[in-house]
Chain A
């Protein structure tokens, strides 16, 4: 049975949102070049981590594709990923929200080289965080699609419906069974 145990070797802790860390200490003013350089370096590590997580999920999917994995195991795997996604979201969403607030503040729109650099880092941090959570979602959807295809080998599914009445009637009967 696949599930939480099976994904443990494939998941990384969520990335540190570097610009958020910077924002907590205040949007930079003046020539905070050293600090910006430090943030950029941490950001590069977050990008690398995102790539590693993507690669690990590809490996996990390749294992799930093996013919001996049955549809119920694929669904269990997707559900374990959903649990992990929510744990990651609980960590990342407050940071995403704070970043969006900081990016919308008047101070973030001041046109200086330091602020422009910080803004770029903040926007990229947002993208990394969102893509990180979407990696989980996309793998789940791929697993559900694979499970559905495997299930179709023994359970053929419905006919094609041309109108809403017969299509919804079919579903009402299905859930009433």
Chain B
């Protein structure tokens, strides 16, 4: 399967630099899996409800990367705009 094309917006780069080292390693691994589409079940890329054109994938149960789709002359790519804490309140209690 063709890898996803990605670009890192400056907001994502700043948020990544502000993360603790251990989390940075997890984020970079998740980005690699996202590009290669090798862990779709754990990353669970999904469109965020109520947010125009924003998508997210999981790094850990409480951390998400947020991105949007963009286009250039070569086609579509995912522009990563932020990474940070995010809880899923629709499932959080069912996990307990």
Q: Could you tell me which A residues sit within 8 Å of B by CB distance?
A: 71, 82, 89, 93, 96-97, 100, 129-130, 133-134, 137-138, 141-142, 144-145, 147-149, 151-152, 155-164, 167-168, 170-172, 174-175, 177
Contact = CB atoms under 8 A, between A and B. Distances in A.
Given A152-B9, A171-B27, 19 more contacts: A129-B89, A130-B90, A141-B48, A144-B11, A144-B66, A145-B66, A148-B11, A148-B82, A157-B8, A161-B5, A161-B6, A167-B31, A170-B8, A171-B16, A172-B28, A175-B16, A175-B17, A175-B24, A175-B28
A163 B3 CA distance: 7
Interface of B: 3, 5-17, 21, 24, 27-28, 31-32, 35-36, 48-51, 54, 66, 68, 72, 74, 77, 79, 81-82, 84-87, 89-90, 92-94, 96
A172 B6 CA distance: 15
A130 B17 contact: no
Contacts of B86: 137
B6 A160 contact: yes
Which of B11, B28, B49, B94 has the most CB atoms of chain A within a 10 A radius of its CB?
Answer: B11
A168 B8 contact: no
Contacts of B49: 134
12 contacts: A89-B87, A93-B89, A100-B93, A130-B89, A130-B90, A144-B66, A145-B11, A159-B7, A162-B74, A174-B13, A175-B17, A175-B21
Which of B5, B15, B82 has the most CB atoms of chain A within a 10 A radius of its CB?
Answer: B82
A124 to B, nearest CB: 15
A1 B85 CA distance: 22
A161 B21 CA distance: 23
B93 A133 contact: no
Contact of A163 (B13, B17, B35): B35
Contacts of A96: 89, 93
A142 B51 contact: yes
